[in-house]
Amino acid sequence: MSLLEAKRLEKHYGDQVVLERLNFRVEPGEFVTLVGASGCGKTTFLKMLLGTERSSKGELLLDGKPIPNEPGPDRGVVFQKYSVFPHLTVLGNVMFAEEMRHSRLFGKAFGGTRRAAADKARERIAEVGLDHALDKYPHELSGGMQQRLAIAQALMMKPRILLLDEPFGALDPGIRVDMHELVTRLWQEQQLTIFMITHDLKEAFALGTRLWVFDKLRHDPQAPQAYGATITYDLPIDARQRQEGVPATFAESGIKTLTQETLL
Amino acid sequence: MKRMINLAPSRGGRWLLGLLPFLIIAMVYFSLSSARLAENPNDRLLPAPATMADTFWSMASEENVRTGQILLWADTLSSLERLLAGVAISALIGLTIGIINGGVPMLRAKLSPLVTVLSLIPPMAILPILFIAFGTGEMAKIALIVIGITPFLIRDLQGEALRLPDEQLIKAQTLGGNSWQILCRVLLPQLTPRLLASTRLALGSAWLFLIAAEAIAAQEGLGYRIFLVRRYLSMDVILPYVAWITLLAFLLDQALAWTSRLAFPWYHANEGDKS
């Protein structure tokens, strides 16, 4: 059984069709990168995985069962912004998940439980290289450090699926490379299944094992909202292609889409 | 020449500039007062600063012949008690209902319209009802303050709760939080500094309701004293009392601001000018 499966999945907002004809299977351990023009429904799709948006038609199955329609601990998330709690320090942010688990009443751990949670959190924080900033608040961190923190925080929960919504969109190119290494390492170490939205095709190729291009197959100029986007290309990326880079792979697959022109 | 919006005074200069309007007001008062007193030494309307200081000092140091109390401190104590009790109760109710309204849509649907309507009732208009219901004791005065400022606090905190990015609530859920935990650990700590800020704004109204209630029915209190001595045209008591009330209000306001900056540094991270 696949980890995640969609059958003729659709999403409408009133008359507007955002996504249509989504059919896919995703196995555990895949790293799916999602690209596509702005406003084509990638984020909506991620929200459906997250459980904050419901599908309008079709099925979206997690382990063969309909995906819960609210966020849960099995699906972690890192947004582009607002991903960490501004009122907690680095340590507090990462401990959050552990505290939720141990103190059902107040969500605040004390004494030995607290020390154990803090120790666990410190390990995670060290993994993302923030161990020098344990007591800093998010507003004192740079954008890249905040995203590292958000990743460490999400991984505390040991989610099966990690959803990344343009997590590095606001970062400098140099920092992005560091973040790529970090994500790749954590993905391998923790055997996560990752869905990542990105606007950067290079990033999509460098990180993913599978690339999805979201685009509209049909377009009605009189009624632009009549048709939605779907996964137009579902490309497996192997290590060789990752090295050769983007243009070669595209040439090989013979892709020519609006999206490609927008993105490249 | 720099643009006007880029010109800022130095630290010392800012103090001097801030002091300037006060000095001008004082000078205007002195000249008017001495002009009137030169014409009629018994004038009561604009007493000389020395007279006011004398009166204030005697009120702050001499025991009242009839009650054996020192008037200023007795008045201050009872007024502050009422004010702080009223504000504390309001803050507690405001925070609780604000969080519930902001965080739980099912409860917001029930309570929010009620709060909006209640906040539109002019509190002074129901003061008679309070006097009838609670008598003319402390209860009615505290209740007036509570009724006066709680709806404002609730609405402000509810708004702030709704302005928190959805991302935070989603994130907390993916980290395993249940509704109660999220209210306690995400909403409560983020609304507390906002509560301090809106309480600062509500203090002005709180003083207004306190003085109004004291003016109508009380045995002691700052507002009571002012309205009592009005009968004798005792401006030498009224003016220092007003200044004293202003000072108390200022200190309370600053204490809240200071507490907030100390306890919630992250909340003040994005403030521009710290002056």
Tell whether A252 and A125 lie within a shared domain.
no
In a domain, A136, yes or no: yes
pLDDT for A254 beyond 80 = no
Q: Amino acid identity, residue A9?
A: L
Q: How much is the pLDDT for A241?
A: 59
**Are B186 and A85 in contact, with CB atoms under 8 Å apart?**
yes
Q: What residues in A contact B272, CB-CB < 8 Å?
A: none
Taking the C-alpha atoms of residue B116 and residue B97, their distance in angstroms, rounded to an integer, is 13
Total tally of structural domains belonging to chain A:
2
Residue among A37, A20, A115, A76 nearest A195 (CA): A76
Q: How much is the pLDDT for A193?
A: 93
Q: Is B44 on the interface with A (CB under 8 A)?
A: no
Residue of chain A whose alpha carbon sits nearest to that of B189: A87
**Are B79 and B218 in contact, with CB atoms under 8 Å apart?**
no
Tell whether A208 and A116 lie within a shared domain.
no
Q: How many C-beta atoms surround the C-beta of residue B230 within 10 A?
A: 13
Tell whether A259 and A170 lie within a shared domain.
yes
Where do the H-state alpha helices sit in chain A?
42-50, 90-102, 111-127, 143-155, 173-190, 201-207, 239-244, 246-253, 258-263
Cβ–Cβ below 8 Å for B171 and A85:
yes
Cβ–Cβ below 8 Å for B266 and A138:
yes
DSSP 3-state assignment of A220? coil
Q: Is B1 on the interface with A (CB under 8 A)?
A: no
CA distance A23 to chain B (A): 25
Q: What residues in A contact B181, CB-CB < 8 Å?
A: 100, 103-104, 106-107
Q: What is the mean pLDDT of residues B205-224?
A: 92
In a domain, B30, yes or no: no
In a domain, B260, yes or no: yes
Cβ–Cβ below 8 Å for A71 and B269:
no
In a domain, A79, yes or no: no
| Mutation target among A96, A110, A149 for the B interface, most CBs of B within 10 A | A96
- pLDDT tens-digit series, residues B56-97: 999 888 888 888 888 899 999 999 999 999 999 999 999 999
Q: How much is the pLDDT for B275?
A: 43
For a pLDDT cut of 70, what percent of chain B falls above it?
99
Cβ–Cβ below 8 Å for A107 and B181:
yes
Tell whether A255 and A231 lie within a shared domain.
yes
C-alpha distances in angstroms, A2 versus A33, A64, A144, B256? 18, 7, 34, 56
Among A112, A128, A158, the domain-final residue is A158
Q: How much is the pLDDT for A264?
A: 45
Q: What is the mean pLDDT of residues A172-195?
A: 88
Taking the C-alpha atoms of residue A112 and residue A133, their distance in angstroms, rounded to an integer, is 23
Among A158, A181, A203, the domain-final residue is A158
Residue among A9, A131, A125 nearest A67 (CA): A9
> How is residue B215 written in tokens?
């003016």
Q: How many C-beta atoms surround the C-beta of residue A1 within 10 A?
A: 8
Tell whether A17 and A57 lie within a shared domain.
yes
Taking the C-alpha atoms of residue A6 and residue B55, their distance in angstroms, rounded to an integer, is 84
Residue B118's domain is classified under what CATH number?
A: 1.10.3720.10
In a domain, A94, yes or no: yes
Residue range of the domain that includes B160: 85-267
Q: How much is the pLDDT for A176?
A: 84
pLDDT for B46 beyond 70 = yes
Taking the C-alpha atoms of residue B179 and residue A247, their distance in angstroms, rounded to an integer, is 48
How does DSSP classify residue A247?
H
Q: Amino acid identity, residue A76?
A: G
Taking the C-alpha atoms of residue A67 and residue A64, their distance in angstroms, rounded to an integer, is 9
Residue of chain A whose alpha carbon sits nearest to that of B271: A139
pLDDT for B274 beyond 80 = no
Tell whether A183 and A258 lie within a shared domain.
yes
Give ∠ CA B119-B125-B130 in degrees, rounded to 5: 95
Calculate the average pLDDT of chain B: 91
In a domain, A49, yes or no: yes
DSSP 3-state assignment of A142? coil
Taking the C-alpha atoms of residue B134 and residue B131, their distance in angstroms, rounded to an integer, is 5
Tell whether A64 and A89 lie within a shared domain.
no
| Mutation target among A50, A100, A140 for the B interface, most CBs of B within 10 A | A100
Q: How much is the pLDDT for A259?
A: 46
**Are B203 and B253 in contact, with CB atoms under 8 Å apart?**
yes
Tell whether A45 and A89 lie within a shared domain.
no
> How is residue A234 written in tokens?
């579902």
Taking the C-alpha atoms of residue B54 and residue B237, their distance in angstroms, rounded to an integer, is 10
The residues facing A234 across adjacent strands are: A212
**Are B82 and B145 in contact, with CB atoms under 8 Å apart?**
yes
Cβ–Cβ below 8 Å for B176 and A73:
yes
Total tally of structural domains belonging to chain B:
1
- The values of phi and psi at residue A15, to 5°, are -80, -20
> Which B positions 143-182 lie with beta carbon below 8 A of chain A?
165-168, 170-178, 180-182
Cβ–Cβ below 8 Å for A139 and B269:
yes
Taking the C-alpha atoms of residue A62 and residue A7, their distance in angstroms, rounded to an integer, is 12
Q: How much is the pLDDT for A258?
A: 45
Taking the C-alpha atoms of residue A144 and residue B104, their distance in angstroms, rounded to an integer, is 33
Tell whether A39 and A138 lie within a shared domain.
no
pLDDT for A246 beyond 60 = no
Give ∠ CA B270-B158-A89 in degrees, rounded to 5: 40
In a domain, B162, yes or no: yes
Cβ–Cβ below 8 Å for B184 and A106:
yes
| Mutation target among B167, B175, B180, B184 for the A interface, most CBs of A within 10 A | B175
In a domain, A9, yes or no: yes
Q: What residues in A contact B168, CB-CB < 8 Å?
A: 82, 85
In a domain, A119, yes or no: yes
Angle between helices B71-103 and B138-163 (to 10 degrees): 40
Calculate the average pLDDT of chain A: 85
> Which B positions 178-207 lie with beta carbon below 8 A of chain A?
178, 180-182, 184-186, 189-190
Tell whether A12 and A100 lie within a shared domain.
no
CA distance A100 to chain B (A): 5
**Are B99 and B188 in contact, with CB atoms under 8 Å apart?**
yes
- pLDDT tens-digit series, residues A103-127: 877 778 888 888 988 998 998 898 8
pLDDT for A197 beyond 60 = yes
When pLDDT is cut at 50, 70 and 90, the band that residue A240 belongs to is low
Residue range of the domain that includes A31: 4-74+159-263
Q: Is A79 on the interface with B (CB under 8 A)?
A: yes
> Which of B174, B176, B265 has the CB atom closest to A137's CB atom?
B265
Residue among A46, A138, A140 nearest A83 (CA): A138
| Mutation target among B174, B190, B262 for the A interface, most CBs of A within 10 A | B174
Tell whether A168 and A59 lie within a shared domain.
yes
**Over chain B, what HEC string results?**
CCCHHHCCCCHHHHHHHHHHHHHHHHHHHHHHHHHHHHHCCCCCCCCCHHHHHHHHHHHHHCECCCCCCEHHHHHHHHHHHHHHHHHHHHHHHHHHHHHHHHHCHHHHHHHHHHHHHHHHCCHHHHHHHHHHHHCCCHHHHHHHHHHHHHHHHHHHHHHHHHHCCHHHHHHHHHCCCCHHHHHHHHHHHHHHHHHHHHHHHHHHHHHHHHHHHHHHCCCCCHHHHHHHHHHHCCHHHHHHHHHHHHHHHHHHHHHHHHHHHHHCHHHHCCCCCCC
Q: How much is the pLDDT for A257?
A: 46
Residue A232's domain is classified under what CATH number?
A: 3.40.50.300
Cβ–Cβ below 8 Å for B178 and A139:
no
- The values of phi and psi at residue B242, to 5°, are -60, -45
Among A133, A158, A183, the domain-final residue is A158
Give ∠ CA B90-B94-B95 in degrees, rounded to 5: 120
Taking the C-alpha atoms of residue A19 and residue A9, their distance in angstroms, rounded to an integer, is 8
Q: What residues in A contact B105, CB-CB < 8 Å?
A: none
Q: How much is the pLDDT for A84?
A: 92
Q: Is B267 on the interface with A (CB under 8 A)?
A: yes
- Answer with the residue of higher pLDDT: B160 or B1: B160
Q: Amino acid identity, residue B63?
A: E
Taking the C-alpha atoms of residue A257 and residue A261, their distance in angstroms, rounded to an integer, is 7
> Which of A75, A85, A97 has the CB atom closest to B168's CB atom?
A85
Tell whether A106 and A225 lie within a shared domain.
no
